[in-house]
Structure 1
Amino acid sequence: MRVIETSTVIATLGLFCFLTASNLASPKAIQALGVHLTAGFFTYPFVYFFSSIIIATRSPKTYFRCIALAYLGYLAFISMMYLASITPESNPDSNYSQSFNLIYSLSNYRIYLASLCAYFVSTFMFGVIFSSLKINSISIRISISTIIVSLVDVKLFLALAYLGVKNNDLLLSIMFWSSITKLVAQLVLLPPAIFIINTIRDRDECCF
């Protein structure tokens, strides 16, 4: 079980790191080839990459514990950063202090918490759907779970974070293209995820 336990720890740490990066990058809107996205596009597919590895090699109970641990870690991180931002400064006029306070200002916390909520709901759904499917093929189960979840998570995040703030037409455009690009990114990451899952299973069949 040592290999399985090690892989689960690594996957949970990866989940936490990419979850944190995705949430912190999400306030930035970007445009690539005329497509409107958030900067979190480059990192959030890896949240499901690591989630797939955990759910396919461990029990659902362990998966949900890992998800909860990663999210509690992120919540603790942004809470500590907020406390740091409101702590009196010795040099409030420095560029570093102003940049730090701008990133972790209370105005951004609607976005951070919306992202946290959307990811929690979607990863929970991902685990439930994956565990409920009575299909032997791991890749098919991951693909079906990903397709269903991709219809929910991005739209939920954007609605919670930007509804009433951004123009509705722009928001709908971001919702559409973010869902498409996320799905494509997940399918690109599927082969390496399956390779890692099979490697873990081959080394220890008692993965549950």
Structure 2
Amino acid sequence: MALILAGCSNHPPSAAQFMNVNKNGGSLVLGGVAFVGDVHRGTYRFESDYFDAEDYGALDISFLMRFDHFIFGASLENISISGIAGFRSQYVGLQGWGLFAINTVDRDAVPFFGGLMLIEEYPVNENFKLGFSEHISRNAYNVDENLGGIGFYSTGFYDEFGVGTYLTYKGFSLEFRYGREIDEPRNRFYFMINYAFMNGESSK
């Protein structure tokens, strides 16, 4: 657990797969995301001998359970875990996620990462769905503390707001998201692809 929480990487999870879980069922979601734009790479902003190491992509694994209108679960971004909880109706969802990092590069920083996402979904038919999302989040990424040549990862943070859109066909989803960093003029673009197993053919 200490290894997972040291040097955490965390970005907003999939809106499409949150809305895609069948009532009183569960799904195992496998997928990936690519980050394009102003990712943190280079010298860390507070410590000149530390190095930003925000990834250009990540492997996502999630397990989600739905009970009536409520959804609970957990998500792995690479090896960093976060909890997921929220509510969804036929057309609207509210997803929250987060956890704590145990080794922050800025020792005075609040060690929490996570956020909230509002989702609107428009079912075209039983299998094909179109959705939109808006989020605000505190994202986490790896920072390499050089430590005289012996690298050790700790966690850096930045605040972000953004919007997205997705298409879902049965268990498969494609998702695009734009994120704007709040504290600095940085823009990120997320390209996500996911597939849900054990999820049946529709999310009613």
TM-score (norm 2): 0.28
Return the index of the structure with the highest Cα Rg. Answer: 1
- Which structure exhibits the higher relative contact order, with contacts defined as CA atoms closer than 8 Å and separated by 6 or more residues? 1
TM-score (norm 1): 0.28
User: Which is richer in helix?
Assistant: 1
User: Which is richer in strand?
Assistant: 2
